[in-house]
Each structure stands twice: as C-alpha cells, then as structure tokens.
C-alpha cells in the first residue's frame, strides 16, 4: 500500500512539473501576475519571519492580560528601540570596519594571490596525501566562492527594490500580529466533517513546523554568532564584527551555512598569519561542537527529522534553481511538503481502515 501511495505521489509530481513547463512556455500570459507576486513575496516573507520571531513575546504579553493593541504596540516599540540602538552604537563600528576592509581589499587580494601561487608552486614537493588535501581544499574554496558570489549578486540586486519592500513589511507584519488566529479558520471552514478536521490538523502541523524552524534557526544563528564573536575577539582577528554578521546570516542555512561563513574568516586569518588561521579553525571547531552537542539538540530537537544528506541535497538543488532564496527556503519548503504528504498518507490509511472495518 505504501508503494502505491508513493507511486501516485510521483505521478502527481510529474503532472505538476508538466504543468509548470507549459506555464513557462507561455510565460508572457502570466507575466503581469508574476510581477505582482514577486513584488509582494519578499515583504510577505520578511513580515512572516518577523511575526514568527515575535509571536512568543506577543503570547507572553497577552497571557499577562495585555490587550491585542497593547501587545502589538509593545512589540513595535521594542523593535524600534532595537533599530535605534543598532544605528546609534553598532552601525558606526560596522561602518569603520567596512571602510577599513574596502581600503585594504586590494592588498588582501594581492597577499592571497601570492599565498596561493606559493602553495601551487611547491605542491609537488609535498606528500601525496597533503597534495590531495590541498587540491580538495582549493576545489571546496572555489565551490563556496561561487555560492558566495551568487549570494552577493542576489543580495545586491534585491537592495535596489528595498525601498518598496520596507514600506510593505510593516503592513504585513502588523496584519499578521493582529489577525493571525483568523487565517486558518478561513481555510478549514471551507470544508465540512472529517475533511475539515483533517485540513485543520494539517494547517496546524505546517504552522508548527515553520514556527519551530524559523525560531530555532534564528536562535541558533544568534548563539553561534555570539560564541564566534567572543572567540574572534580573543584571537584578535581583523574585521571580527563583519565576519560575525556574515556568519549570523549564513548560519541560518543548515549544515553548509557555517562552512560558508568559515571561509572568509580563514582567508583573513591566513593573510594575517598561519597561527591566526589556526586559531580561526579552533574557534570554528569549538563553536560547531557546542552547536551540535548542546545548542541544536536543545533548540531544534526532532523538529524537522530530516537526514543531513537530504538537507544538503535540498540546499544545493534549491540554490541552483532559485539562487539565494532557494538556499534559504529549500529546507522549510521541503519540511512543509513532507508534513502535508505525511498527513495525506495518514488520512488515506484511516479511510482504508474504516472501509475494511465496514466490510
């Protein structure tokens, strides 16, 4: 029976791919709709992430008899305060490090070119195992550099439309804070009987997966970035704040994100001295051990229950298809699809058991 269900699911996916192919071939018909959807997607996504981050605070306030308007006002006041603190105290430090990095960048690239040239020229004198390790490291750096460059291109192109995005984000965010309990009933009330209960359960499961994933990944990224910042301050690496901010956003990507964040820190460490690079490796290793043994098991637990190899495959495939957004959204999208398929399968099993009992 399980094989039959998965066969039917595969047929459904093939049909969906064929429909998508025909839509692409006649994309000029749907171009206006695509423009509208792409315009609202980013602010809706950011508004949704902000909602899931602040939803525990709203729940906490309303349990203490705060009315809805007061909880929303409190959350907005906290966010405005956080932005003010960031602009007043943190941004000047970032600006100084960014200006220093831009000025030093040509020299850093020159030093990096000299170092790689030296390694390649003397590679033949090294043992085979070391040569293989160097070749593997160079290939990995190239792959991650390509991924990083794609990220930067996507981010820079997105900045152009941010004025419009910044206007829409507060509207979506406040609307979600105000009426989030009404969204699910508007969907499952379209159905009746057992089907209504199934849709209600499926929506709840999808919401739980998204909530746990977003809140968990943001918290893990923040804790990891804090540990790395302390480590970078101890070893005295240049541009520590810039590296940690980059690491925070990369750590949101499961498994491969921390290693993408590791590469620029390692390069800057090498350009300072081999010992600094070694200490960067130590800081990264300690941070990853703390994350894998303490932070992630306690924060995420069994939230996704997805094999690491599956996660890496999803991220690489989604990155090739949709760039930076694909890398960010591939895993939660897969988790949502998995929850829906699981609920569909369980419902089919329940129906078949009911029919068998009647017979």
Minimal CA–CA distance to 252: which of 39, 49, 14, 40?
A: 49
- Which pTM was predicted? 0.74
Residues contacting 256, CB < 8 A, separation 6+: 312, 315
Indicate the DSSP class of residue 67. Answer: -
Place of tokens 């399968």: 345
Residues contacting 64, CB < 8 A, separation 6+: none
Give percent above pLDDT 70 in the chain: 72
* Residue 155 contacts residue 246 (beta carbons within 8 Å): no
All structural domains of the chain with their residue ranges = 2-358
Rg (C-alpha) for the chain, rounded Å, is 24
Minimal CA–CA distance to 42: which of 152, 150, 164?
A: 164
Place of tokens 């429909």: 19
Lowest mean pLDDT among 44-53, 188-197, 230-239, 241-250: 188-197
pLDDT grade, residue 193 (50/70/90)? Answer: confident
Residues contacting 161, CB < 8 A, separation 6+: 39, 42
Indicate the DSSP class of residue 191. Answer: S
In angstroms, how far is the first alpha carbon of the chain from the final one?
Answer: 18
Indicate the DSSP class of residue 302. Answer: T
Length of the chain measured in residues: 359
**Is the pLDDT score of 201 beyond 80?**
yes
**What average pLDDT does this structure show over 48-62?**
93
pLDDT grade, residue 231 (50/70/90)? Answer: very high
Residue-wise pLDDT for 262-302, tens only, equals: 988 988 888 888 899 899 999 999 998 988 888 887 777 66
**What average pLDDT does this structure show over 171-199?**
89
Place of tokens 């750590």: 251
Q: Is 22 exposed, middle or buried (0-12, 13-18, 19+ CB in 10 A)?
A: exposed
- Compute the distance between CA of residue 224 and CA of residue 250 in angstroms, rounded to an integer: 11
* Residue 175 contacts residue 65 (beta carbons within 8 Å): no
DSSP 17-51: HHHHHHHHHTHHHHHHHHHHHHHHHHHHHHHHHHH
């Amino acid at each position: 029976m399980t094989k039959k269900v998965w066969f039917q699911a595969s047929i459904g996916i093939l049909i969906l791919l064929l429909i998508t192919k025909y839509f692409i071939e006649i994309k000029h018909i749907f171009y206006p709709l695509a423009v509208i959807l792409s315009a609202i997607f980013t602010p809706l996504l950011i508004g949704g992430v902000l909602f899931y981050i602040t939803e525990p605070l709203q729940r906490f306030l309303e349990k203490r008899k705060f009315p809805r308007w007061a909880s929303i006002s409190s959350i907005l006041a906290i966010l405005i305060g956080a932005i003010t603190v960031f602009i007043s105290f943190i941004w000047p430090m970032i600006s100084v490090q960014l200006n220093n990095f831009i000025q030093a960048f040509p020299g850093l690239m020159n030093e990096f070119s000299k170092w790689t040239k030296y390694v390649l020229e003397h590679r033949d004198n090294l043992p085979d195992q070391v040569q293989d390790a160097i070749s593997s490291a160079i290939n990995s750096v190239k792959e991650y550099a390509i991924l990083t460059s794609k990220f930067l291109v996507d981010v820079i192109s997105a900045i152009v439309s941010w004025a419009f995005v910044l206007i829409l984000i507060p509207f979506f965010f406040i609307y979600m804070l105000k009426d989030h309990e009404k969204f699910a009933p508007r969907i499952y009330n379209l159905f009746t009987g057992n089907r209504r209960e199934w849709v209600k359960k499926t929506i709840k499961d999808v919401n739980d997966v998204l909530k746990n994933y977003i809140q968990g990944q943001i918290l893990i990224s923040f804790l990891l970035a804090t540990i790395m910042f302390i480590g970078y301050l101890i070893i005295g690496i240049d541009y520590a704040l810039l590296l940690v901010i980059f690491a925070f956003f990369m750590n949101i990507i499961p498994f491969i994100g921390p290693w993408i964040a590791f590469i620029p820190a390692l390069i800057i460490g090498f350009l300072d001295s081999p010992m600094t690079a070694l200490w960067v490796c130590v800081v990264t290793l300690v941070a990853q051990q703390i994350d894998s043994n303490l932070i992630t098991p306690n924060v995420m637990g069994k939230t996704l229950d997805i094999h690491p190899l599956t996660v890496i495959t999803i991220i690489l495939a989604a990155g090739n298809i949709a760039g930076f957004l694909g890398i960010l959204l591939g895993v939660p999208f897969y988790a949502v699809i998995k929850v829906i398929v699981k609920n569909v399968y369980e419902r089919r099993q329940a129906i078949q058991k009911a029919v068998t009992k009647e017979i």
